[in-house]
């Protein structure tokens, strides 16, 4: 596969390390009352969609960017690649 | 029809015209006691043991394609019970014992061949871990032998003992491990279940679950609604898709595992050899093909195909440990979708929805588990309580912090 | 025997002679021959034996689809089994042998299987061999295995080398036949970056095999001149002997180029190159493969594909027989008859299954329409055929055409399925192709020459436009538009003999019937039950025939029946080529520490630690057993001073205003409160609450920390930290950089460590206990101004430091330290002594931090601060990880101090049997302690802390022993830590 890195252009997927669903960005707040339940769902449960999926790839043999790649799990077609940092910020994550 | 050498001679002398179909092609009935979704190895084994061990025969097995079209039809045929953790090892040893009597039990030659499985080790910590595992196997009634370098050399003289990047220090040998003709397992179970009255319905895809007030009462299929007292899901790589029809999210991701076969060769590989440090394992089929594989590709997918980096990685592992296979040619590569769980171990459990049961999360190790999975799932469906060897294979084990993580890599399915 | 069947020159160079042997007999051939054309030229009809029944077989085709003519090529370590004679280029000195027979090829003892065939029908082995139970492995299977398989491996390491390469193209054109050449010509002229690849050594495809005309010259001449034109274009790369074997995601194609297979010796060059081609577009111009017709004994030597027969005549100047008959269901088969007659070869008959008027006249041949062949006579080579009209015909070669199958394989590698075209009686690519892929020529059903050439131009034009390139004007080419009419005819119903479908795996029409009777009717069941199409040719000549006959039996259409899945590779690829140069010592990179050379010169024994090589111990003269060296290194360190290379530890530089806050979140314990100039031991959890890693982190400045990780986890910890930084807390002001390879680091340990270091550290930096106490750290200089870092930390439990210098000084600092240590008899120590001392001290390491254990398990539960959030904090509280009878890391001593402990033993309460139910934990690490003079161990056991002094059994059935051990504190030495603070 080829991932079109937002900063570096098209790179072979073999340069990257895969983590999983981009929902792993949404780490719960440990201070909430049902934190245990939230962390369980966050870490263990997956939509595992057959179709378009947003997922985390890490450019380990490159610039060490974490990317959010939108990829179809039926066809492997990649429709969007973003810096995970930008995605995280856009989702309200900060400090 | 009972199969035997006599039957073969009789049929051979009369032009092979008297054979009858191994299974019927029934129309679905309106209702069943139990519907099993998925006519793969585990689903068919479940049906077989429900009928044979529990006398429950008003059972349908629904299959969206042809029976045996899932991972039972595209694996590397290895059987073994070389697990380490108490939640796993007794279950896999039950499976091994069932394998050992299976052919006589279901009157079908699945070519079970216990030529042994050897895990190579290359460092002291690896050997320590193998020792821990080998002792766990023996304590569960399985067999295991810890080999030093010389012991490995005696078993597999063709390995690279002189120039390997990671020198072979020894290995863990399970003599009862081996291989089985994978398709025949599906066919033997299907034939045995069909004979006892189970309806195996091919080309019948489940498209919805009937759930009323938290009770599952049947399924909707491409061939209409079918009611059932119990619905047992057993669909491996499609687990998340099917369970999402019941509104459930699972601790599972679907990944592709590739496997490879070479052109036919005269015997050159004894038993099964695994080279964990190089992501490579290999055996040789009765027809002479080298059957080999390695790690999963590592990304979520439902496409039953993989990509080149993994292909090359696997072949590199092969050449690193057995450079004499370089001139053998890879004939075919294929990929199956694995239901990778969050700790690498499976589930055989009830769900929170009454009447809905789940069997899945087998990762790339479901084939060897086929008999025990069927046995334990049938036990759960028939008696309502888990089989004694499968008490830990629960869906809620992550919530409770009772992971069964053989590899110790945590909640990241692509590392298991 | 000289070349009895060589009729003319063809495209081989008859002016030069090449010698080769087949089954040790010497033959003559010419440059341009394949092994197959050379064998045919020399009248060698019998070339091999089939897989199951060991039937005599001859050459069947002229390409990579060959099912029969498989040989063992070359000798010794170069032996190459299952090599298709039809694609083996002849070279001088070639040695080939037939395979898969016992006794001579002409009298194969395994031929007995053929007599038993009534009892060996499809699936027979599933129905028997079950009794008695033990006989499968002891008798049946060994017999089956010995007779199965085809060629043999030499058992020796592959002596050749293989390269890998990467290519990029606008357009990859696969197949250099008529369509591929025309597509390449247009694309090349339009300026696109083009790769044209073909498996043959001669570009041109079937243009060289036919007598068809293009623009008034022979197709072969047109191909040659087009190739010449293309070879002059800088933007076109021509790759002959290159098989594009697979189509993968995002326009990535796998290709295998055979560099030296056509030479007697590789002369040190790589044998083959495995290319990964990145193409924006591809045009599949892979042509078509002829299929056979099933009739009685249609597998005998002399029965060949009609297109192959005329290819041998036209391209290689060889007639496969002196008297040839043709059996066809289409017009194309007739061209074999006319081409042969034009070359003066006798054609005894043309038999056509169609009841139509003969489409051509063939001088001297009986023309028999509406009739089919039902049998052949001549076991080792046919001499007569029998027809359905009771006629018999004399012939020593029967050219059969059942129609052509477009080579759609690559179009289906991403799970596409082709569609059945009734009119052309073949499967064509369906609309769903891999992204960027286009199909032209016969592969897309353009079966005539003129239509194929035009299709190449048209598709290339479309592709260029889709790339926003201006397409050059389409040339006008005037080529033959030969007729390709076909009426499907699959098998002879009148035949009473076995009619073969898959020649290599010996599948007959009767097997299809049995498969149907047994209920194996789905096409995938058919394949798996009968093994149809599972041989080395993957059913290229047989699959369609087999499924058409199954369709007939099950009353379904061919479209409904469908095909099995097409999987890569298109033709088999050597495992050696796929591995490339990653073998032997080059399998993985070898990482060496900065002072590796020093250690090597010192005679160190090295050990692999991941990809690192680390010094395990340093033997000195007189030491004969590793334990002597290790015991000496431990004792000398504990008594005076030792030096150990710890450069492999991961080092991560953490900087920024929020560095402390960041570390508080990734470590279970707190770091923001650490004073500048201090070091703290930290434990890091995974989000699931399991221990991920441990190590020390030093605060070098207000906003600057230096973290160390274990050697094994250096990469994964860094990845995890970047995830936390970029994905979880992008607003924190913190930057990370891996500095593992920038610093060489050495532990200096032992009562004389300080004295030694004082000789090396520049005097501006006092390191006495007051100024530089336990857990201090500082930037310093050594040896008169060289920047370095010093940490007062101890893994050994001794007064100890770790000193880090820039990598380039690694070797010299090691020498300097040892020189300075001479007066103390300082020793270098390796990982083994390091391990002994850490077990003596009770520190957890890899065997304890195995990804399954918690902070509580290793006795550090209280380090998980509950005053803050950190990774893994919440989920570490789950009940299953905090059980009453949870595992705790403790020490173990043998009751009999002479006993040796072993790692991997499991603990059971005394008196209990060693079973899973009674399992209470296991021994993780053991060592011989030269200090305590006995074997000691660390291990996890249930409620360990509460069981100090209890005697339990360390059961080790794997090694046939059980040892009584006492549960003790894991801190075997200096439990109060007086030494390291001294």
Predicted local confidence at residue C9, as pLDDT: 87
Residues C205-222, mean pLDDT to the nearest whole number? 97
Identify the DSSP state of C473: P
What whole-number distance in Å separates Cα of residue C646 and Cα of residue B334? 44
Residue C347 pLDDT level (bands cut at 50, 70, 90): very high
- SS3 string, C397-460, reads EEEEECCEEECCHHHHCCCCCCEEECCCCEEECCCCCCCCEEECHHHHCCCCHHHHHHHHHHHH
Predicted local confidence at residue C529, as pLDDT: 96
Structure tokens at C67: 């099912």
Residue C73 pLDDT level (bands cut at 50, 70, 90): very high
Residue-wise pLDDT tens digits, B304-347: 999 999 999 999 999 999 999 999 999 999 999 999 999 999 99
Cβ separation C153–B330 shorter than 8 A: no
Predicted local confidence at residue C146, as pLDDT: 79
A93 interface with C at CB cutoff 8 Å: yes
Statement: residue C1 has pLDDT above 80:
no
Predicted local confidence at residue C114, as pLDDT: 85
Q: Peptide bond preceding C691: is omega within 30 degrees of 0, i.e. cis?
A: no
- Out of A64, A83, A95, the one facing C722 most closely (by C-beta) is A64
Give the fold, CATH level 3, of A2-90: Folate-binding fold (3.30.2270)
Distance from CA of C439 to the nearest CA of A (A): 20
Residues C963-978, mean pLDDT to the nearest whole number? 96
Distance from CA of A1 to the nearest CA of C (A): 5
Statement: residue C32 has pLDDT above 70:
yes
CA angle A39, A40, A46 (to 5 degrees): 105
Statement: residue C134 has pLDDT above 80:
no
Residue B15 pLDDT level (bands cut at 50, 70, 90): confident
Residue C392 pLDDT level (bands cut at 50, 70, 90): very high
Residues B102-121, mean pLDDT to the nearest whole number? 95
- Out of B252, B309, B399, the one facing A46 most closely (by C-beta) is B252
Stretch among B6-15, C669-678, C769-778, C800-809 having the lowest mean pLDDT: B6-15
Stretch among A2-11, A83-92, C115-124 having the lowest mean pLDDT: C115-124
Ramachandran angles phi, psi of C548, nearest 5°: -65, -40
Test mutation, B131, B192, B329, B405, chain C, max C CBs within 10 A: B329
- Out of B252, B303, B413, the one facing A75 most closely (by C-beta) is B303
Which positions in chain B touch A76 (Cβ < 8 Å)?
A: 301, 303
Statement: residue C826 has pLDDT above 70:
yes
- For residue C167, the SS3 value is strand
Could you give the domains of chain C? 1-121+136-159 (3.10.20.440), 163-288+406-466 (3.50.50.60), 591-648+742-837 (3.30.1360.120), 652-738 (3.30.70.1400), 883-981 (2.40.30.110)
What does pLDDT average to over chain C? 96
Test mutation, C247, C660, C716, C727, chain A, max A CBs within 10 A: C727
Predicted local confidence at residue C898, as pLDDT: 96
Residue-wise pLDDT tens digits, C512-551: 999 999 999 999 999 999 999 999 999 999 999 999 999 9
Which chains are within 8 Å of C by 3+ CB pairs?
Answer: A, B
Which positions in chain A touch C877 (Cβ < 8 Å)?
A: 36
- With CA atoms as reference, the chain A residue closest to B339 would be A48
Residues C768-786, mean pLDDT to the nearest whole number? 97
Range C735-765 burial, b when 16+ CB lie within 10 A, else e: ebebebeebbbbbbbbbbbbbbbeebbeeeb
Per-domain boundaries in chain A = 2-90
- Out of C128, C687, C925, the one facing B5 most closely (by C-beta) is C128
Statement: residue C111 has pLDDT above 90:
no
Residue B79 pLDDT level (bands cut at 50, 70, 90): very high
Residue-wise pLDDT tens digits, C581-637: 999 999 999 999 999 999 999 999 999 999 999 999 999 999 999 999 999 999 999
Cβ separation C575–B325 shorter than 8 A: yes
Cβ separation A73–B302 shorter than 8 A: yes
Distance from CA of A10 to the nearest CA of B (A): 16
- With CA atoms as reference, the chain A residue closest to C738 would be A64
- With CA atoms as reference, the chain C residue closest to A16 would be C719
Structure tokens at B49: 């043991």
Residue A38 pLDDT level (bands cut at 50, 70, 90): very high
Pairing verdict, β B329-341 and B289-300: unpaired
How much of chain C exceeds pLDDT 90, in percent?
A: 93
Which positions in chain C touch A82 (Cβ < 8 Å)?
A: none
Predicted local confidence at residue C431, as pLDDT: 79
Test mutation, C134, C519, C905, chain B, max B CBs within 10 A: C519
Contact C11, C46 (CB under 8 A): no
Which positions in chain C touch A64 (Cβ < 8 Å)?
A: 722
Q: Hey, how many other C-beta atoms are within 10 angstroms of the C-beta on B104?
A: 13
Predicted local confidence at residue B341, as pLDDT: 98
- With CA atoms as reference, the chain B residue closest to A72 would be B301
Identify the DSSP state of B106: H
Predicted local confidence at residue C144, as pLDDT: 80
Pick the CATH number of B5-77+182-251+343-415 from 3.50.50.60, 3.40.50.11540, 3.40.228.10, 1.10.10.60: 3.50.50.60
Q: Which of residues 41-70 of A touch B (CB under 8 A)?
A: 41, 43-50, 53, 55
Distance from CA of C78 to the nearest CA of A (A): 32
Statement: residue C49 has pLDDT above 80:
yes
Structure tokens at C445: 């059903």
Residues C348-368, mean pLDDT to the nearest whole number? 97
Cβ separation B251–A76 shorter than 8 A: no
Distance from CA of C657 to the nearest CA of A (A): 12
Distance from CA of A25 to the nearest CA of B (A): 14
Test mutation, C958, C961, C962, chain B, max B CBs within 10 A: C958
Cβ separation A73–B413 shorter than 8 A: no
C278 interface with A at CB cutoff 8 Å: yes
Test mutation, B162, B327, B345, B390, chain C, max C CBs within 10 A: B327
- With CA atoms as reference, the chain C residue closest to A94 would be C731
User: Which homologous superfamily is B112-178+253-341 in?
Assistant: D-Amino Acid Oxidase, subunit A, domain 2 (3.30.9.10)
- With CA atoms as reference, the chain C residue closest to A83 would be C726
Which of these, C214, C175, C63, lies nearest to C441 by C-alpha position?
Answer: C175
Which positions in chain C touch A1 (Cβ < 8 Å)?
A: 249-250, 252
Contacts of C751 (CB under 8 A, 6+ apart): C639, C640, C641, C798, C799, C979, C982
Stretch among B63-77, C87-101, C140-154 having the lowest mean pLDDT: C140-154
Residue B354 pLDDT level (bands cut at 50, 70, 90): very high
Which positions in chain B touch C118 (Cβ < 8 Å)?
A: 12-13, 15-16
CB pairs under 8 A between A and C: 75
* Residue pointed to by tokens 């696997």: B314
Cβ separation C729–A36 shorter than 8 A: no
- Out of A24, A58, A77, the one facing C719 most closely (by C-beta) is A58
- With CA atoms as reference, the chain B residue closest to A13 would be B309
Per-domain boundaries in chain B = 5-77+182-251+343-415, 112-178+253-341
- Out of A19, A64, A89, the one facing C730 most closely (by C-beta) is A89
Residue-wise pLDDT tens digits, B89-101: 999 999 999 999 9
- Out of B25, B123, B262, the one facing C575 most closely (by C-beta) is B262
CB pairs under 8 A between B and C: 359
Contacts of C763 (CB under 8 A, 6+ apart): none
Residues B132-157, mean pLDDT to the nearest whole number? 97
CB pairs under 8 A between A and B: 70
Residues B178-182, mean pLDDT to the nearest whole number? 96
Identify the DSSP state of C626: H
């Amino acid at each position: 596969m080829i991932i079109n890195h937002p900063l570096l252009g098209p790179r072979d997927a073999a340069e990257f390390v895969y983590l999983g669903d981009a929902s792993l960005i949404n780490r719960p707040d440990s201070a909430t009352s049902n934190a245990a339940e939230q962390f369980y769902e966050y870490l263990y449960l997956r939509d595992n969609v057959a179709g378009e999926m947003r997922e985390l790839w890490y450019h380990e043999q490159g610039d060490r960017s974490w990317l959010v790649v939108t990829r179809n799990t039926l066809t492997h077609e990649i429709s969007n690649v973003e810096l995970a940092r930008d995605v995280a910020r856009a989702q309200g994550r900060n400090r | 029809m009972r199969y035997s050498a006599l039957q073969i001679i009789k049929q051979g002398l009369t032009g092979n015209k008297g054979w009858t179909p191994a299974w019927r092609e029934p129309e679905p009935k309106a209702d069943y006691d139990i519907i099993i979704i998925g006519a793969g190895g585990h689903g068919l084994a479940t049906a077989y043991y429900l009928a044979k061990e529990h006398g429950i025969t008003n059972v349908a097995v629904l299959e969206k394609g042809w029976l045996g079209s899932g991972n039972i039809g595209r694996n590397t045929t290895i059987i073994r019970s070389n697990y380490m953790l108490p939640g796993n090892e007794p279950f896999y040893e039950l499976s091994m014992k069932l394998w050992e009597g299976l052919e006589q039990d279901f009157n079908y030659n699945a070519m079970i061949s216990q030529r042994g499985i050897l895990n190579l080790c290359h460092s002291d910590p690896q050997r320590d871990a193998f020792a821990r595992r080998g002792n766990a196997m023996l304590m569960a009634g399985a067999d295991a032998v810890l080999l030093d370098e010389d012991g490995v050399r005696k078993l597999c003289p063709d390995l690279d003992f002189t120039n390997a990047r990671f020198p072979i220090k020894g290995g863990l040998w399970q003599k009862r491990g081996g291989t089985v003709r994978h398709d025949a397992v599906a066919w033997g179970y299907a034939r045995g279940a069909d004979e006892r009255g189970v309806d195996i319905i091919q080309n019948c895809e489940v498209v919805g679950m009937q759930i009323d007030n938290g009770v599952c009462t049947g399924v909707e299929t491409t061939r209409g609604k079918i009611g059932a007292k119990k619905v047992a899901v057993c669909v491996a790589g499609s687990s998340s898709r099917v369970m999402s029809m019941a509104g459930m999210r699972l601790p599972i991701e679907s990944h592709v595992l590739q496997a490879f076969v070479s052109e036919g060769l005269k015997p050159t590989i004894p038993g099964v050899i695994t080279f964990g440090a190089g992501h490579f394992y290999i055996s040789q089929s009765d027809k002479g093909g080298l059957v080999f594989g390695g790690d999963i590709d590592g990304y979520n997918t439902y496409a039953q195909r993989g990509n080149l980096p993994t292909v090359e990685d696997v072949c590199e592992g092969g050449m690193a440990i057995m450079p004499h296979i370089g001139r053998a040619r890879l004939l075919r590569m294929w990929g199956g979708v694995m239901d990778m769980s969050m700790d690498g171990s499976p589930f055989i459990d009830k769900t929170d929805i009454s009447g809905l049961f789940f069997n899945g999360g087998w990762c790339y190790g479901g084939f060897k588990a086929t008999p025990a999975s069927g046995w334990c799932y049938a036990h759960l469906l028939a008696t309502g309580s888990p089989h004694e060897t499968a008490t830990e294979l629960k869906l809620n084990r992550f919530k409770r912090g009772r992971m069964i993580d053989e590899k110790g890599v945590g909640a990241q399915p692509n590392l298991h | 025997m000289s070349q009895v069947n060589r009729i003319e020159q063809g495209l081989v160079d008859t002016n030069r002679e090449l010698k080769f042997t087949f089954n040790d007999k010497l033959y003559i051939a010419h440059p341009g021959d394949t092994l197959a054309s050379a064998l045919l030229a020399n009248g060698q009809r019998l070339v091999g034996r089939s897989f199951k029944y060991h039937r005599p077989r001859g050459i069947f085709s002229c390409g990579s689809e060959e099912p029969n003519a498989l040989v063992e090529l070359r000798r010794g370590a170069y032996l190459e089994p299952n090599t298709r004679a039809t694609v083996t280029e002849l070279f001088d000195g070639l040695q080939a042998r037939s395979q898969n027979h016992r006794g001579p090829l002409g009298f194969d003892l395994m031929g007995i299987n053929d007599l038993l065939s009534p009892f060996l029908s499809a699936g027979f082995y599933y129905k028997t061999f079950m009794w008695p139970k033990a006989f499968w492995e002891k008798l049946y299977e060994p017999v089956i295995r010995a007779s199965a398989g085809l060629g043999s491996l030499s058992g020796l390491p592959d002596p050749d080398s293989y390269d890998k390469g990467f290519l990029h193209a606008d357009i990859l054109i696969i197949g250099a036949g008529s369509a591929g050449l025309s597509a390449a010509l247009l694309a090349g002229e339009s300026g696109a970056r083009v790769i044209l690849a073909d498996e043959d050594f001669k570009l041109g495809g079937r243009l060289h095999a036919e007598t068809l005309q293009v623009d008034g010259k022979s197709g072969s001449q047109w191909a040659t001149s087009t190739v010449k034109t293309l070879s002059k274009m800088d933007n076109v790369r021509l790759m002959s002997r290159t098989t594009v074997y697979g189509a993968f995601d995002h326009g990535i194609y796998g290709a295998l180029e055979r560099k030296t297979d056509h030479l007697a010796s590789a002369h040190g060059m790589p044998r083959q190159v495995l290319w990964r081609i990145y193409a924006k577009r591809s045009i599949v111009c892979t042509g078509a493969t002829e299929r056979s017709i099933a009739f009685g004994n249609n597998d005998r030597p002399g029965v060949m594909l009609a297109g192959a027969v005329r290819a041998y005549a036209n391209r290689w100047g060889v007639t496969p027989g002196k008297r040839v008959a043709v059996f066809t269901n289409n017009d194309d088969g007739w061209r074999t008859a006319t081409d042969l007659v034009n070359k003066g070869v006798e054609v005894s008959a043309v038999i056509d299954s169609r009841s139509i008027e003969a489409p051509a006249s063939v001088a001297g041949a009986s023309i028999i329409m509406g009739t089919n062949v039902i049998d052949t006579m001549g076991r080792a080579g046919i001499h007569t055929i029998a027809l359905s009209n009771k006629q018999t015909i004399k012939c020593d070669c029967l050219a059969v055409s059942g129609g052509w199958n477009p080579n759609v394989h690559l179009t289906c590698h991403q799970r596409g399925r082709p569609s059945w075209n009734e009119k052309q009686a073949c499967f064509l690519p369906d609309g769903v192709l891999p992204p960027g892929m286009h199909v032209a020529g016969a592969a897309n059903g353009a079966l005539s020459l003129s239509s194929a050439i035009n299709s190449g131009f048209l598709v290339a034009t479309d592709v260029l436009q889709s790339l926003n390139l201006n397409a050059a004007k389409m040339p006008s080419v005037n080529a033959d538009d030969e007729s390709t009419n076909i009426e499907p005819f699959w098998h002879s119903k009148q035949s009473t003999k076995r009619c073969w479908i898959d020649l290599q795996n010996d599948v007959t029409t009767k097997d299809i019937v049995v498969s149907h009777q047994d209920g194996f009717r789905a096409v995938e069941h058919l394949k798996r039950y009968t093994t149809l199409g599972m041989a080395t040719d993957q059913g290229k000549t047989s699959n369609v025939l087999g499924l058409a006959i199954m369709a007939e039996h099950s009353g379904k259409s061919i479209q409904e029946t469908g095909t099995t899945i097409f999987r890569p590779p298109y033709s088999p690829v050597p495992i050696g080529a796929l591995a490339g140069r990653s073998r032997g010592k080059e399998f993985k990179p070898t990482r060496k520490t900065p002072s590796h050379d020093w250690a090597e010169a010192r005679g160190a024994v090295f050990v692999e630690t991941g990809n690192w090589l680390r010094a395990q111990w340093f033997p000195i003269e007189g030491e004969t057993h590793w334990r002597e060296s290790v015991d000496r290194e431990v004792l000398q360190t504990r008594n005076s001073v030792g030096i150990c290379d710890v450069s492999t530890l991961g080092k991560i530089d953490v900087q920024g205003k929020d560095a402390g806050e960041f570390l508080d979140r990734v470590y279970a314990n707190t770091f923001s409160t650490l004073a500048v100039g201090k070091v703290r031991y930290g434990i890091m959890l995974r989000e699931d609450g399991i221990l991920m890693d441990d190590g020390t982190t030093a605060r070098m400045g207000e906003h600057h920390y230096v973290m160390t990780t274990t050697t094994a986890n250096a990469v994964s910890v860094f990845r995890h930290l970047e995830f936390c930084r970029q994905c979880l807390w992008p607003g924190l002001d913190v930057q990370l950089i891996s500095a593992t390879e920038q610093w060489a680091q050495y532990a200096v340990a032992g009562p004389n460590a300080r004295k030694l270091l004082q000789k090396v550290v520049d005097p501006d930096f006092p390191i006495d206990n007051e100024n530089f106490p336990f857990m201090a750290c500082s930037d310093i200089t050594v040896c008169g101004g060289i920047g370095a870092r010093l940490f007062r930390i101890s893994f050994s439990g001794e007064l100890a430091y770790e000193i880090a210098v820039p990598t380039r000084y690694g070797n010299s600092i090691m020498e300097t330290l040892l020189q300075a240590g001479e007066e103390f008899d300082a020793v270098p120590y390796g990982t083994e002594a390091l391990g002994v001392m850490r077990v003596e001290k009770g520190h957890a390491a890899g065997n304890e931090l195995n990804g399954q254990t918690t902070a509580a398990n290793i006795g550090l539960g209280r380090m998980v601060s509950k005053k803050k959030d950190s990774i893994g904090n919440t989920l570490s509280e789950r009940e299953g990880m905090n059980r009453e009878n949870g595992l705790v890391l403790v020490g173990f001593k043998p009751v009999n101090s002479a006993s040796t402990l072993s790692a991997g033993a499991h603990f059971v309460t005394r008196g209990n049997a060693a079973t899973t139910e009674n399992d209470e934990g296991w021994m993780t690490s053991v060592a011989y302690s030269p200090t305590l003079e006995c074997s000691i161990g660390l291990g996890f056991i249930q409620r360990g802390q509460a069981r100090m002094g209890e005697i339990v059994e360390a059961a080790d059935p794997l090694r046939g022993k059980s040892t009584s051990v006492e549960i003790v504190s894991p801190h075997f030495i200096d439990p109060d830590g007086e030494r390291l603070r001294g």
